[in-house]
Structure 1
């Protein structure tokens, strides 16, 4: 038979061959029963190794696309017709619950590789080129050796002792958090920490207060547990504490780098918040998501370090300092809720994967994390300065940056009326990713502005991207 396969370059030969053969089978160009060329012959024709051909045939056979007949060769397998499942979710008894989840908006979702833009100011992402691959690979090898020597049992829901110790020492040094190893619970990212705390503190109808504008995934998460979320306005000093309603059980704040506006909560406001929470019998969640990167003034310690009554649950993540794909976060919990959260963690997922836990414990213990943070700090500081210079320069007629001293995103507010959806659409056409801030507002009136993340965009690309934004604003503003 004549098999049409095109190999481009010398990268991922097996992947290229696999995709083309699978596509040909699924589309019907290679019909059921068609015999494929022997691996030796196809290797000669394509100029690649016979092992690559054999491995690809083996993978497709495993996936039931091909079948081997001893003494005869390899054939396209007859595949069962795809079953069309006609039942709609509207026919199920749980329709109302399903519909509630289906109707939730999608916030802050990162694009796939194919959908990403060349110059993207997306938030919550870092440049992968900064990640210390060699150090992490060495720590992962250590983790594999630790697992090889284990008994193969489930691990502890609160996390490996080695990682809990490393986290406690790291945040005591970097953020002034007052904790012991036993106060630490390792989670699958900060989002799971929020989920666990909400599970043990709220029930349907419970009041949860959070900043408005604020972090939409946290608001949606609390609401999914049946809580009634109240948006509390913020000003230049942070959350307006006197507007937290009576009956509140849980208060969610980002005091070191308010999300999304960026200002820190003042010392007076922090003290007032601690007093108000104590009077309410409420727990405060302090989400300290990226404040290890501070550029101006004296570093501010965490709110948790000021807590003398055990009412602050400190939540942190390694998604911002390392990679989002690692999905590693943690919570430092007050004694009143620690045991309950550990039980909830065990019930929901038993424990976080131990392989990355072992690797991260060694990575922190050897000083690799602090070294990486220092290196990133220099890079992010340069990017921040470049954006601020442009906002004070040729972009000043339209945009003004909100003062911020930490993290790797900033908000720029519109100084004149601007058709923001149109600007975002036009920017996308020239490969620039811009994001509006209106979706971060909940019960407060939305303001007009853009959210500029500078963790993922390369330093040399910032001016190119902002030049294009300026040209668009000149056209439409």
Structure 2
């Protein structure tokens, strides 16, 4: 044995003598020993060195021989040790993983950080009905009925589809049957289904400008070409739709992001356009249940009688974005191609929450939750407007009868000093999530304004954020270009 080998063996013997085992720890002694030996092996300094005989090592550690044998056997099985018949147990050489563990930074928490004040479209997650939801979920899967374990309907759980149809009849004035409802995994899935089933004739789809930026990506992903059209003070203008465009997607009950409600005359014009073009309208009804003055406006699909309008809804804002459950309501003429498409590719929406959501809606707890949140959100909107009163000369502080965010236009005094995108960038440095209205548009000369979400934040959070925003706006108005 060379002097180097002798030194390594001596160092190993010293390290083995320093090992200690905790007899009152949760892990059994043989696991503690195997972990300690594995750590020694991973230092990479003892390859080829001989370990003490199991009887000797057990005496030194004050444990039973079986404890040492179990630890040795585990590490032999893992390839860290080699047993030589009649010669003892040795630490393996030349294993590629016998190196010191690489030090890596802790996992990033970026994706789990809380939403900053004024982030739009976020429901109050602390108000989610966790206990009732857990009860419905446990009841559905503790002893699932046979239909849940059978081949799934590509349109989704029928009981949930029936509950959605009942909800739409009561809240949105939409008369449909469960067979017309398709459960989706959200807006992306909904557009993919409509495109894949061949419902969208042609390659172009008219849409509102400004509008939901993600919608552009959804439309393009579906293989379509978005055609943005600038809205006016009454929302979408169907007479601006170019020729050879036979489809449109709109938010008539509450335009995103401005909050404009399309008047009846505009709705009738849009339906007439769809009839003359033999086209299809997709109605994205994303948060109209949260109406604070009177009943929610009737849906465009209800006005149409579900002939040329596909109604698109979601539970992301009504309950939680993590639920990932949405739905389509289809005209009867389009049911067969959609069923054929989904039968071929399979449904993407998870079946797991569907029976729980169905019973949650049937029990009346869903409607109770919506009424409760409608009161809370109305109070928060009024609170935010009151806190922003000091900058009424800089922002158009108009209340909104519906929704979860305010879209406040910049007054000329503020527009002369800065832009909404500059304000959004400055707000980020003050812990505010300000959405610039101009970033929601694709066409030139976009409107200037700020989107301020209030639904997901307490009155205290809104007051603090509003105070910071007031200071920011005042400073920006007094120091143009800074």
Q: In which range does the TM-score fall when normalised by the shorter chain? A: 0.7 to 0.9
- The verdict on how the C-alpha distance between 1:298 and 1:170 changes in structure 2, with shifts beyond 3 A counting, is closer
Partner of 1:15: none
TM-score (norm 2): 0.75
Q: Say which of 373, 377, 387 aligns to 2:374.
A: 377
Q: Secondary structure at the match of 2:257?
A: coil
Q: Secondary structure at the match of 2:445?
A: coil
Q: Say which of 324, 328, 333 aligns to 1:327.
A: 324
Say yes or no: does 1:184 pair with 2:181.
yes
Alignment of 1:396-407 (within 5 A): 396-401=392-397, 404-407=400-403
- Does the CA-based 8 Å contact 1:262-1:402 persist in structure 2? no
Q: Secondary structure at the match of 1:194?
A: helix
- The verdict on how the C-alpha distance between 1:136 and 1:238 changes in structure 2, with shifts beyond 3 A counting, is same
Partner of 2:428: 428
- Does the CA-based 8 Å contact 1:155-1:351 persist in structure 2? no
State the Cα deviation string for residues 349-391 of structure 1 (Å, max 9, x = none): 4352222001000000001100100110011000111222344
- Does the CA-based 8 Å contact 1:205-1:226 persist in structure 2? no
Cα offset for 1:195?
Answer: 2.3
Partner of 1:472: 472
Q: Say which of 404, 408, 415 aligns to 1:408.
A: 404
- Does the CA-based 8 Å contact 1:126-1:320 persist in structure 2? yes
Structure-2 separation of matches of 1:250 and 1:316:
18
Structure-2 separation of matches of 1:77 and 1:175:
66
- The verdict on how the C-alpha distance between 1:297 and 1:363 changes in structure 2, with shifts beyond 3 A counting, is closer
Partner of 1:90: none
- Structure 2 gaps of 5+ residues are 1-15, 43-66, 81-94, 98-108, 478-482
- Does the CA-based 8 Å contact 1:188-1:352 persist in structure 2? yes
Alignment of 1:190-201 (within 5 A): 190-201=187-198
Q: Say which of 129, 133, 137 aligns to 2:130.
A: 133
Say yes or no: does 1:340 pair with 2:340.
no
Cα offset for 1:403?
Answer: 5.4
Cα offset for 1:444?
Answer: 4.4
- The verdict on how the C-alpha distance between 1:203 and 1:287 changes in structure 2, with shifts beyond 3 A counting, is closer
- The verdict on how the C-alpha distance between 1:305 and 1:39 changes in structure 2, with shifts beyond 3 A counting, is farther
- The verdict on how the C-alpha distance between 1:458 and 1:191 changes in structure 2, with shifts beyond 3 A counting, is farther
Alignment of 1:298-309 (within 5 A): 298-308=295-305
Alignment of 1:101-140 (within 5 A): 112-114=111-113, 116-117=114-115, 119-140=116-137
Structure-1 separation of matches of 2:20 and 2:465:
50
Q: Secondary structure at the match of 2:188?
A: helix
- The verdict on how the C-alpha distance between 1:131 and 1:309 changes in structure 2, with shifts beyond 3 A counting, is closer
Q: Secondary structure at the match of 1:338?
A: helix
Cα offset for 1:80?
Answer: 6.1
Partner of 1:155: 152
Structure-2 separation of matches of 1:188 and 1:252:
19
Alignment of 1:91-110 (within 5 A): none
Alignment of 1:62-461 (within 5 A): 71-72=70-71, 112-114=111-113, 116-117=114-115, 119-147=116-144, 149=146, 152-201=149-198, 206-308=203-305, 310-391=307-388, 393-401=389-397, 404-415=400-411, 416-417=414-415, 418-461=418-461
Identify which range, 443-452 or 200-209, moves more after superposition: 200-209
- Does the CA-based 8 Å contact 1:315-1:330 persist in structure 2? yes
Cα offset for 1:447?
Answer: 1.9
- Does the CA-based 8 Å contact 1:345-1:351 persist in structure 2? no
State the Cα deviation string for residues 317-350 of structure 1 (Å, max 9, x = none): 0111100001011111002222222333344443
TM-score (norm 1): 0.76
Structure-1 separation of matches of 2:400 and 2:458:
20
State the Cα deviation string for residues 286-343 of structure 1 (Å, max 9, x = none): 1111000101245311111111471010011011110000101111100222222233
- Does the CA-based 8 Å contact 1:315-1:332 persist in structure 2? yes
Q: Secondary structure at the match of 1:143?
A: helix
- The verdict on how the C-alpha distance between 1:361 and 1:208 changes in structure 2, with shifts beyond 3 A counting, is same
State the Cα deviation string for residues 85-136 of structure 1 (Å, max 9, x = none): xxxxxxxxxxxxxxxxxxxxxxxxx97223x35x421122112110001100
- Does the CA-based 8 Å contact 2:117-2:462 persist in structure 1? no
Structure-2 separation of matches of 1:388 and 1:169:
35
Structure-1 separation of matches of 2:69 and 2:303:
73
Q: Secondary structure at the match of 1:361?
A: helix
Cα offset for 1:154?
Answer: 3.5
Q: CA RMSD in A?
A: 3.2
Q: Secondary structure at the match of 1:331?
A: strand
- Does the CA-based 8 Å contact 2:387-2:467 persist in structure 1? no
State the Cα deviation string for residues 364-423 of structure 1 (Å, max 9, x = none): 0001100100110011000111222344x2021221145532111121111122244443
Q: Secondary structure at the match of 2:313?
A: strand
Structure-1 separation of matches of 2:219 and 2:336:
20
- Does the CA-based 8 Å contact 2:117-2:461 persist in structure 1? no
